Amino acid sequence: MSQIPFHLAFPVRDLDATEDFYVNRLGCTIGRRDTKWIDFNFFGHQISAHLGPAREDAFANPVDTKMIPIPHFGAVLPWARFHQLADHLRAAETTFIHEPQIRFEGQVGEQAIMFLRDPAGNVLEFKSFRDPDNLFAS
């Protein structure tokens, strides 16, 4: 299956802090930039950070034993890339909502996950499946 990129626009309070986080913490590159927004290559997808009002978490859902903030967005990464990013974020002393961890170990759908916030408070989830074919397995 070839990847079809998605686009997501979201609010931020500070473009310089946003650029620093997405480029230096996550390794994204910049596409276009204006005085009020920045486009990033987010693991092959286009996300646009726009200056705007802060967004509050609407709620958190219980998943397994964790409360997962909603809304959130992120990327499904290859297994090795997920762990490289997790190591990089730990080395940068990133504060996690949920530390990098393995869920469903040894089961169909075994996955690595981590949750963190960008400087504007937007919640990001990164995950990886040990077997990528199980992305939608039940």
Q: What is the DSSP string of 87-104?
A: HHHHHTTPPEEEEEEEES
Superfamily of domain 7-134: 2,3-Dihydroxybiphenyl 1,2-Dioxygenase, domain 1 (3.10.180.10)
Determine the average pLDDT of the residues in 55-66.
79
Tokens describing residue 30: 């910049």
How far apart (Å, rounded) are the C-alpha atoms in residues 33 and 62? 37
> Where in the chain are the domains?
7-134
Determine the average pLDDT of the residues in 129-134.
92
Assessment of whether the complete model's pTM goes beyond 0.85: yes
Q: Rounded to whole angstroms, what are the CA distances from 109 to 32, 76, 85, 113, 118?
A: 36, 13, 20, 12, 27
Q: What does the pLDDT look like over 74-97, one tens digit per residue?
A: 999 999 999 999 999 999 999 999
Beta-bridged to residue 51, according to DSSP, are 12
